[in-house]
Amino acid sequence: QSVLPQPPSASGTPGQRVTISCSGSSSNIGSNTVNWYQQLPGTAPKLLFYTNNQRPSGVPDRFSGSKSGTSASLAISGLQSEDEADYYCAAWDDSLNGVVFGGGTKLTVL
């Protein structure tokens, strides 16, 4: 069981909006910023969002991130086939004194 539980899978059809949740606690998401990573098949992870809702250059504005209390979520609108990937949330954990990752959500575009 991951320190930051995520749904193992999510799916949607092209053009739909999909949301991926990330649940934490006061020692991680509740007191530190959340970051999201996208990992396309066979490639290294890529930073998708940092500091809760900041989008690096090159990331389409179809992607949005948010945080509320001890939970965070990633939303993808106008779903495209190239969005099919694994998505991970991450945060620093003050109790563990290290980084914790979510278990990952595999997004399938139907």
**Contact residues: other proteins, CB under 8 A:** 2, 32-33, 35, 37, 39, 44-47, 50-51, 56, 86, 88, 90-92, 94, 96-104
Closer residue to other proteins, CB minimum distance, 37 or 63: 37
**Nearest approach, Cβ of residue 52 and other proteins (Å):** 10
Q: How far is the CB of 15 from other proteins (least distance, A)?
A: 28
**Closest distance of CB 79 from other proteins, Å:** 22
- Between 66 and 92, whose beta carbon lies closer to other proteins? 92
Which of the 8 DSSP states describes residue 13?
-
| Choice between 19 and 33, CB closer to other proteins | 33
Distance CA 110, CA 107 (A): 10
